[in-house]
Structure 1
């Protein structure tokens, strides 16, 4: 800039002096000749200065161009490296997340292109190392290997080892958590050929329940009905799926040992203790008079067991069980030398029954008054 400025000022100053001298000696040939010589000499000086300026500018420009080319080369290589890493990451993400053949093919093409670009642009040893690193990542991506938890096409959670394979068989293992995003968080999962199991599952001779949303063992006293089922499972605080006769919400229910599901129909079943109980259509154990296979039976409200003989009372009604066939009697029967009449549901007709029924039928309709009767004696 100093050369350029100096040359420009010098040129302007010389031109101004030459113009002034030409005006002052225009009428004197001798002076004009001398002036012309002086002007010619000055012009030669201006030309030399201009040439010097041009040479210096060209030199500076050449240096700048060289430096610019070097920087551009470095920036270009850097940009290619950044682009390569971004593309490899995107390709890797596509392969791991989807695992589909189409995504894998697209990712392989992208990675191959990036790898070639990085290799061709590498001009230094550092860039060559970067290119090598990209090619190494590209090799992993193009191999189609998966790692960690992957959701397959069926929506199942599958765990892949670092070598891209899954374990075979059934195993209960501690793995990175599916739900807890805290760094290093883990959880226990039951896998079948790498697939996390859900719902009621058998493991080492026992039934366990794995939460369908987290795939982890559910440890709470709860009743769970899975999608598409009418009835569900009873789970305890250890995660065990219970079966047989179980107490729940103040009463007893029966869970089929073959399915571990709540029984959804009436049946006379054998419990885990060897005793037989009558189960209603809602899965709960029933008591009192029960009709079963065309006959009437009576189940004790305190023990839930079948009463085999004698008198019984239930909800203000009286019943009698024949010891011979263990059924409730109906119609007119002679018991202990006394004749009794029972209705079709096994309930005894008696004064007590008639009195109770009379009051029950008039419940809410009767009024009562208390009148003090004076003594008349």
Structure 2
């Protein structure tokens, strides 16, 4: 039975549609030809060449890990989005629909004093200012969304490179295994038999010992390549995790925040229009009452106007309730998006730490290889 890691290697590598009956069923026909060529190049007569065997692929993986680490460190779109969402929530909390309905009882009235009309005017000015600020924040969010989209595209390139290096390591590993099997199963037994037949001739014994040491070094190189391949295997889901986090944030910004903000602004426009209409109706009512006091015969007209004024006030109250519900829904969406952003930041920090470990492990392996030289 294949282990979990081995199954992942098989799934991640390039499948061979031609044959699945040999020792390397996951390799393509072209890769199998390269395996034979590389295996022939691994020569016991030149053991020092093992130091450079597969080193170029290991260096490419190390540089790829560096690129990912720099990508995670240098792009802080999630943090910027979080700061903007916090600012949006603060702006929404500043606007209390109840104060617009009865401003003389609200905080602004207690703070500034003055007539109800003056307080309402200050509230209207603040609503308009908040509207402009929200438009600016929405533009910034859209810009960050495009930046995350570019980052996701770049991560696709890194993912493809990582898979390319993984498949190339498959070839080097298969060639090393093939050569190691040849050395241990054929070359060493022949040399051992020759040494025994020669009566333990020192020259033959030395050849046997050299071959055994070569096999040990080849096996160590094989283990190094397997570790590098494991790093590539672990890097793939990490890249996809970063992309998934970007995708969730982009979707939330586009489908929720950037669609809810225009709705909030449209409701605010309606509300401000109704409030101005309410002021006009109040003036109209006062004028009608003054005329009614002078002209008692217009009582019926005044009653109709008063009824219309009452209806308009009821309409304003209903629109305020709808506006308040819209604002609460927007705040809930923003809080949910903030939660997702915070989770994405936490995942990003974990990935940064893991990539740091990978970078250290790759550096340690490079130092180990240098010591072997």
* Category of TM-score, reference length = shorter chain: under 0.3
Per residue, is there more helix in 1 or in 2?
Answer: 2
Higher relative contact order (CA 8 A, sep 6+): 2
